[in-house]
């Protein structure tokens, strides 16, 4: 890792406008996240046009706030890291354009970063000594991936969801229970009050480390339809049963991947990794099998510190980008 690098990192792939200062050894000097969740909740999900417009309105101020630890001095920076994908095209374009404008104005190099690699490498903020190889379960609103992160340049996708991402399933079940968007944290809170064993739900385990959450979501839908009017206790029991089934499904596949790869290290990342039950269950089940690193919740959900962490790694393996940042809404491979 190059010495004394300090990056300004920018994240605008979905509905959080975020900027952070991250230095070598993965020290986070600032991390500002302006969430648009309230604006989108009226629509029950992210509205891409609105999201891009709100990024445009907020990005300058969010970056200025992130620069406070260096008193706004751009000469204290060595480069700018920005998310290049996957994400919403208009949103990515705002972040990439702004990053390149800043960089051109201040004579700084830019590095484009994969958002999903950012989620994974948020684990380096938690454990700066973290080194591959490890297995990672990456669980967000758009992805449910099991990866074998062999080196920083060789990452194998072991399995992924065939339908809904697990975060998406949390959001949809939350909506069925009349909870606001984003539903993951709402289900997590409500589930704490419920009995997870009153209702039996499936744990869909597919071959090849694949996932499928649409059947689980439909099973909840049928239960709700059959139950009729839901009282508060029943809603909590449904939330608890769904959370337990989703978490156990994730852990079963994660354990299989650990066994398959022989890896003794595991990283759990992405917005759903802030789920309390997932954090506890994975740690308990993998005890003695693997060392588990999970970023603190604020670095699991979308943020720019994780983009700074992945930017530092990218610069160490590939250097800064030679060409303008090539945004890619469907970016798939992690390395």
* Interface residue list for ligand KG4 (CB under 6 A): 14, 140-142, 167-168, 170-171, 182-185, 188, 270-272, 274-275, 301-302
Select from 78, 75, 68, 65 the least CA-distant residue to 17.
65
Site string for Zn ion, 136-155 (x = CB under 5 A): ----x---------------
CA distance 83 to 111: 9
Stretch that binds Zn ion, among 85-93, 96-104, 134-142, 190-198 (CB under 5 A): 134-142
Please name the residue that has the structure tokens 């869909």.
204
The tokens for 241 are 């049963």
Q: Interaction with Zn ion in 188-227: which residues (CB under 5 A)?
A: none
Report the distance separating Cα 254 and Cα 285, nearest Å: 10
Q: Which is nearer to ligand KG4, 124 or 275 (CB)?
A: 275
In whole angstroms, how close is the CB of 164 to Zn ion at the nearest point?
A: 16
Measure the CA–CA gap between 89 and 174, rounded to whole angstroms: 27
Q: Give the 3-state secondary structure of residue 82.
A: strand
Least gap, CB of 83 to ligand KG4 (angstroms)? 10
CA atoms within 13 A on the CB side of 175: 14
Q: Is the dihedral of CA 101, 304, 169, 214 positive or negative?
A: positive
Least CB distance to ligand KG4 at residue 108 (A): 26
Distances (CA, A) of 290 to 254, 293, 298, 325: 11, 10, 24, 37
Of the pair 176, 310, the CB lying nearest Zn ion is at 310
Q: What is the closest distance, in whole angstroms, from the C-beta atom of residue 285 to ligand KG4 in the complex?
A: 18
Nearest distance in Å: CB 187, ligand KG4: 6
Which residue in this structure is represented by tokens 């454990």?
127
Chain centroid to CA 52: 19
CB of 276 to ligand KG4, least distance (A): 7
Half-sphere exposure of 321 (CA within 13 A, CB side): 21
> What's the CA dihedral at 317, 318, 319, 320 to 10 degrees?
-130
Considering CB distances under 5 to 8 angstroms, the limit depending on partner class, which of Zn ion, ligand KG4, none binds residue 295?
none
* Cβ-based nearer residue to ligand KG4, 124 or 301: 301
Identify the CA nearest to 169 among candidates 155, 183, 179: 183
Count interface residues toward Zn ion (CB under 5 A): 2
- Given the rule CB under 5 A, which of 167-175, 181-189, 295-303, 317-325 is the region that contacts Zn ion? 295-303
Our finding on whether 16 is near Zn ion (CB under 5 A) is no
Q: Pick one of 11, 168, 302, 321: the residue that binds Zn ion (CB under 5 A).
A: 302
Identify what 272 binds: Zn ion, ligand KG4, none; CB under 5 to 8 Å per kind. Answer: ligand KG4
- Rounded to a whole number of angstroms, the minimum distance from the CB of residue 143 to Zn ion is 8
- Which of Zn ion, ligand KG4, none does residue 117 bind to, with CB < 5 to 8 Å depending on kind? none
Our finding on whether 15 is near Zn ion (CB under 5 A) is: no
Considering beta carbons, is residue 132 or 142 the nearer one to ligand KG4? 142
Cβ 302 to Zn ion, closest distance in Å?
4
Residue 198, strand partner residues: none
Environment class of 281 (CB within 10 Å of its CB; exposed 0-12, middle 13-18, buried 19+):
middle
Q: Which residues bind Zn ion (CB under 5 A)?
A: 140, 302
């Amino acid at each position: 890792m190059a010495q004394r690098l300090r990056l300004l990192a920018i994240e605008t792939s979905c509905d959080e406008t975020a900027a952070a200062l991250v230095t070598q050894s993965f020290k986070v000097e600032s991390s500002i996240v302006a969430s648009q969740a309230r604006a989108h909740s009226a629509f029950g999900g992210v509205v891409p046009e609105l999201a891009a417009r709100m990024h445009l309105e907020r990005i300058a101020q969010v970056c200025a706030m992130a620069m406070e630890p260096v008193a706004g001095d751009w000469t204290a920076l060595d480069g700018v890291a920005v998310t290049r994908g996957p994400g919403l095209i208009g949103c990515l374009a705002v972040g990439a354009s702004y990053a390149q404008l800043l960089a051109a104005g201040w004579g700084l190099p830019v590095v484009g970063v994969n958002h999903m690699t950012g989620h994974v490498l948020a684990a380096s903020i938690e454990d700066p000594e973290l080194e591959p190889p490890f297995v990672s379960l990456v669980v967000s609103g758009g992805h449910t991936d099991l990866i074998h992160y062999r080196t920083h340049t060789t990452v194998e996708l072991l399995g992924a969801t065939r339908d809904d991402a697990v975060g998406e399933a949390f959001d949809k079940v939350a909506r069925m229970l009349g909870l606001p968007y984003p539903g993951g944290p709402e289900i997590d809170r409500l589930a704490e009050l419920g009995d997870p064993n009153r209702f039996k739900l499936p744990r869909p385990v597919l071959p090849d480390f694949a996932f499928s959450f649409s059947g689980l979501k439909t099973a909840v839908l049928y239960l709700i339809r059959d139950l009729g009017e839901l009282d508060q206790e029943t809603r909590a029991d449904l939330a608890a049963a769904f959370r337990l089934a989703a978490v156990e499904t994730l852990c079963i596949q994660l354990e299989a991947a650990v066994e398959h790869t022989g890896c003794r290290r595991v990283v759990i990342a992405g917005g759903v990794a802030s789920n309390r039950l997932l954090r506890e269950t994975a740690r308990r089940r993998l005890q003695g099998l693997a060392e588990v690193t999970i970023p603190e919740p604020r670095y699991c959900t979308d943020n720019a510190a994780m983009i700074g962490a992945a930017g530092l790694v990218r610069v160490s393996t590939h250097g800064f980008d030679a060409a303008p940042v090539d945004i890619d809404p469907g970016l798939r491979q992690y390395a």
